[in-house]
Amino acid sequence: MFQCCLSVPLSVSTMSPSQKPVVFLDRDGTLNVESGYIRDLNDLQLIDGAADAVRKLNSSGIAAVLITNQTGAARGYYSEDHIRNLNAKLVKLLKDQQAFLDDVYYCPHLPDGTVEQYTQTCDCRKPAPGLVEQAYNEHPELDRTRSFVVGDKATDVELASNCGAKSILVETGYGKQVQAGEYQWKVTPDYQTDSIVEAVEWILNSLKSS
């Protein structure tokens, strides 16, 4: 059984009775500036335009769900509470600009970690689809047939493949290094673009044409 964790309690947005499209969003390098393992909450800063992009999803009736690997606790860098606090900071920064996430999920595990509690092979670490499946189980209004994954890593693109979603690789964070063969491995996303701003425009256009 995999262990996956909700990082912060979130208010549930008003849902339509019909199913709604969903975008599964990576965190570091996608929504906030890639800064390595963030030990100081003040170092978590939104990427330019990220809040506007999330707000567009909100106003279009598209669910925005965070799915993130966070191995800082498994590596002994900080506590799991710190991971939750970082996610809460992200939620606050978005809220300050009238944007919100429908839910937040993270995986704290690492197969070769240094902290026994988190050192394990699990089904929730991307590219495994455990957290996405948890989101579908907890939010039956989400439409699997209209789903997207946005992230800056090869693992995000593979997550999309593993859960039947369309993949968007953004070049903020590690996106360019991935495609240059300098980080993880090269991938073939459904779409590649500069940032979440253009990614959301592509998603909106894709949904209009479907």
Q: Which residues are catalytic?
A: 26, 28
Helix (H) or strand (E) holding 95: helix 80-96
Whole-angstrom distance, CA of residue 4 vs CA of residue 105: 7
**For residues 98 and 56, is the Cβ–Cβ distance under 8 A?**
no
Q: For 7, how many CA atoms within 13 A lie in the half-sphere containing its CB? A: 30
Q: Cα–chain-centroid distance for residue 112? A: 22
The alpha-carbon radius of gyration of the chain (Å, integer) is 16
Q: For residue 26, which of 157, 201, 162 has the smallest C-alpha distance?
A: 157
Q: For residue 31, which of 127, 125, 106 has the smallest C-alpha distance?
A: 106
Coil, strand or helix: which one is 106? strand
Coil, strand or helix: which one is 3? coil
Coil, strand or helix: which one is 178? helix
Q: Is the previous residue joined to 127 through a cis bond, with omega within 30 degrees of 0?
A: yes
